[in-house]
Amino acid sequence: MMTYINLFWEFFKTGLFAVGGGMATLPFLYDISDRTGWFTHEQLADMIAVSESTPGPIGVNMATYSGYITAGIPGALISTLGLITPSVIVILLVAAFLSAFHENKYVIGAFYGLRPASSAMISAAGLILARVVFFAGNFSNPLNLKAVILAVILLAFTNAVTFTKKLHPVIWIAFSAIAGIIFKY
Amino acid sequence: MNIKLLCDLFITFAKIGAVTFGGGYAMLPILQREIVENKRWGTDEELADYYAVGQCTPGVIAVNVATFIGRKTGGITGGIIATIGVVFPSIIIITLLAGVIQFYSTLEWVKHAFSGIRVCVCVLIFNAVMKLFSKAIIDINTFCLYLIILAGSVFLNLPPTVFVVLAGLAGIILKMTVKR
């Protein structure tokens, strides 16, 4: 029972403070992983891949997935409920004075600071994952060359090549899975 | 409360949740087709407003938009039902997949596949950060805030909530002092 209450509370906080779309929940999930041990950093990386490759909002998918790993099907329901509850409350309150809200100078000011903070926290989460992927968890380890080659190829296809950069991420996730199996990552 | 309308809200938003990959902006064309053209629950202008406010409120944007349209169409109950509708497919699909993945996760080739996928996830996060960065870092103040919060997140063991609250306050103070 305590796990369910904690699960709800952790995802309630995530839903209340994660600003800027699905990926913004990532720093919160890393924080939950560090403090509770409900899921590992590796499992988080897998969750991102599955959430990007399946329908539905990424933030919701990640919450459902981590809830399932923590406490099975009830966990999946509770974490998702926790994530969306603050949104629903805030929106129902804000809906009454819609235009006054997003033209309010304090709201504009807060978001002027929140957007760079959100980018910074997602960057930090990316660094944690990069350390696992490219250095086997510690920067003093030798660089994993196989991973670097795949990363460079993916960076080129998703940013530089005109024909491929508009393709859906699920294609690159499938491509990387096949590369992983063939070259034994 | 009109039960038929609530069912319609639930089914329509469940359909939207089931066909959108990625949420947020990926959802906009589908919302335009279903909400504006088919159901006539709102206009293109209203959708644009909801997106604007969805970005200025916490939480997942897709969920925020569902709550807005549901509330407008069927009151507070409508808002709650539409929101449950939009997350419903995620819960079913992810729970099934998570179960399957956990079952097969000890197989050697599945491990290799996920090691490859993790490299891809790194690249996807990098791309997401680049996109956010270009919208969020618009001057020297926001660039400094980015560096401070990045250093703070890497070196200090503080919960992200602390950084969010501090950054929001810093944003308000910076905006106020720039004005004068």
Interface probe with B: pick from A104, A114, A152, A167, most Cβ of B within 10 Å: A114
Query: pLDDT digits over B76-132, tens only?
Result: 999 999 999 999 999 999 999 998 988 888 888 888 988 898 899 889 888 888 888
Mean pLDDT of the A28-38 span: 94
Query: What ipTM describes this predicted complex?
Result: 0.84
Position B180 scores a pLDDT of: 52
State whether A87 and B137 contact (CB < 8 Å): no
Hey, which residues does A56 pair with through a beta bridge? B21
Residue (of A37, A9, A17, A23) closest to A169 by Cα position: A23
Interface contacts A/B by beta carbons within 8 Å: 358
Cβ atoms < 10 Å from Cβ of B111: 16
Query: pLDDT digits over A108-155, tens only?
Result: 888 889 889 988 988 988 888 888 889 887 788 888 888 999 999 999
Domain ranges of chain B: 3-104, 136-180
Beta strand spans in A36-155 (E): 56-57
Q: Cα dist. A72→A111, B86, B91 in Å? A: 36, 21, 12
Residue (of B3, B95, B178) closest to A65 by Cα position: B95
Is the pLDDT at B159 greater than 70, yes or no? yes
Position A82 scores a pLDDT of: 96
State whether A56 and B23 contact (CB < 8 Å): yes
Burial annotation A26-64 (CB, 10 A radius, 16+ → b, else e): bbbbbbbbeeeebbebbbbbbbbbbbbbbbbbbbbbbbb
Q: Find the helix or strand (DSSP H, E) in which B22 lies.
A: strand B21-22
Measured CA to CA, the distance from residue A7 to residue A29 in angstroms comes to 11
In this structure, what DSSP letter does residue B34 have? I
List chain B residues with CB under 8 Å of A145: none
